[in-house]
Structure 1
Amino acid sequence: MKLKRLFAWTLGVLVVGAGAAFAVGWFTSTNSCYTDPPVSPRDPMKAVIRCDYGTAERLEIVNIEKPVPADDEVLVKVRTAAVNPLDWHYLRGTPYLMRLGTGLRRPKEIRMGVDFAGTVMTVGRNVTRFKPGDAVFGGRTGAFAEYVTVKQDRAIALKPANLSFDQAGGVAIAATTALQGLRDGGRLKAGDRVLINGASGGVGTFAVQIARTMDAQVTGVCSTRNVAMVRGLGAQEVVDYKRADYTQGPARFDVILDNVGNRTLAENRRVLVPDGRYVLIGGGGPDDGRWIGPMLKPLGAMVTSWFVDQHLGMVLAELSQQDMNVLRGLMESGAVTPVVDRRYPLREIADAVRYVESGRARGKVVIVME
């Protein structure tokens, strides 16, 4: 009973605080969208922007000024980028609580996209890690564009020679999330039994492969049409969620990596060992609660963790060059191979976002610059 009261109090504080911020911010926030200035860019490039929160129809392809690298930056000609669930959350501005950081009435950042792969064109005078002509991959806000600048010590690394630009363009967020979810959140070790819910999605396809490199016993959960693919990625056991409920089976797991969030915390805890680790990655669709949305479940997990031996929490990927290079090594060795579902030209960016938002993507959805 005390736990329920504490949880309700915490949630109430969040909601009231968010509401107060919106009441103030609604009348005070401003937005200077790129389309406002009348001056045409002198050295233009195409980029995807959105001036307001909304659906994929809000996305625009416009000409903006091509960036010039600072002394510690590289200029990358983007060959491919990728759509992530994060993109449509930012596009819609939901759950509303996130707008405390992204902008109340309108988005502070109008550029879209994070994952990219491309070729270094020029480098700043202090850059020593990269040179013109290098094929690279990484993550940086504004990747849905013909060019991006990236600091040489941020989330950028040399592209593995055995990967295509299509494959490398979809690595950064999904693969980093899988790596950090298993290694840091799940503290996965050799011999552990790990269940990956949503094993056929962007994060899931990486997670199955990364878990196998850590010598874990992998069970993947996916739909009927994806069973063979998930097994081919290395899962020893595959649960078809259309035929069975993993939370009702006899198996017990040391780690659950939950990319879907379609089962209650209590149901997941039932199939965890007494000191198991539950790591929530996803669990929010476009029609979830608009104020709190998928944030309700991780909040409940963290509060519950205070009172039980099981570790329950959430992981949000933190992109870094160190982990880009870890992933590069795994992909160069052939142990991890990105799965690309569909590729869209830049002009069809809205269709690509809608497809990812539908939840039907198998692996990654890539945007090809024209």
Structure 2
Amino acid sequence: MQFGIFSVGDVTPDPTTGRTPSERERIKAMVAIALKAEEVGLDVFATGEHHNPPFVPSSPTTMLGHIAARTENLILSTSTTLITTNDPVKIAEDFAMLQHLADGRVDLMLGRGNTGPVYPWFGQDIRQGINLAVENYALLHRLWREDVVNWEGKFRTPLQGFTSTPRPLDGVPPFVWHGSIRSPEIAEQAAYYGDGFFHNNIFWPADHTKRMVELYRTRYAHYGHGTPEQAIVGLGGQVFMRRNSQDAVREFRPYFDNAPVYGHGPSLEDFTDQTPLTVGSPQEVVEKTLAFREYAGDYQRQLFLVDHAGLPLKTVLEQLDLLGEEVVPVLRKEFAKDRPADVPEAPTHASLLAAEQSAAAEQDEHKAEQDEHKEAVV
């Protein structure tokens, strides 16, 4: 199972000091957080994509390419790549390039985003959000798997004899997670292609997450990709830790109360009771995260949000130390217990390449057997 962190890249004033970091400071902090994630033994760093204040990560592949040059093991991902307002041709090219630069340590999460004005800024209509997601991914899927593409759709100009360059590393496209909080159509899309489904359940109660994940698992099996238990699921979560629970609550409360997304809404206590947010000791984070399996089943990727709402970099790095030293090692051990042997691990470039090579070898063997049979008949 993979464990990591995701960042939305918000530039938010620290409510305890009133200081707002510059955009440069925030961008550099995100890089430092990614490097720290590798240092403490996490598996994944994922950055969001936003094109409006107060967020800075408008060019995820630029940031991830820089991080790739400074890391060796970290899987580089997104949370989210906007499949609705980005040109799928540019996504195909950018992430294939990143694949080569990072020696395959790349996957991505596709989603529609949650900022309405982005659509007209990029020449699209938010009312077509689902249709854009479906059509654009159908094209992206082909661009990575066909050397020459002829295509015509509703939302972009046709392609005639088009080859996306560079081609995916080793002929293996980056693994795709389809991210959705509330749209069953996206769970269906992930199931249809046999891709991963990432439910960023940070704002939703467990029963909603359970319904979305069960829908995806059922449809994954329906399309013949495996059993429901073999579907590839990822979950999001939010944590803030101190060794003493009361200290964690006291320190995090002003950040929660003024957060750009959920600030000035439900109380911290109500939010932690109703969603995956955990504010407390490392042991409390372990216990609550392990409970995700009760309603989501055995899953493959767990990402935590730790750097939002104006938290200073020093505090975030302390959170990563606690994750790496006291939380993730326990989660790895506990999630491995009683995990069925047929439940797959999270896909990586190496595992996808091995699967393709195995399938090709089986096909060659089958063809050889057919040729031998024909010769025997003659």
More strand by share: 1
TM-score above 0.5 = no
The TM-score, its normalising length taken from structure 1, stands at 0.26
More helix by share: 2
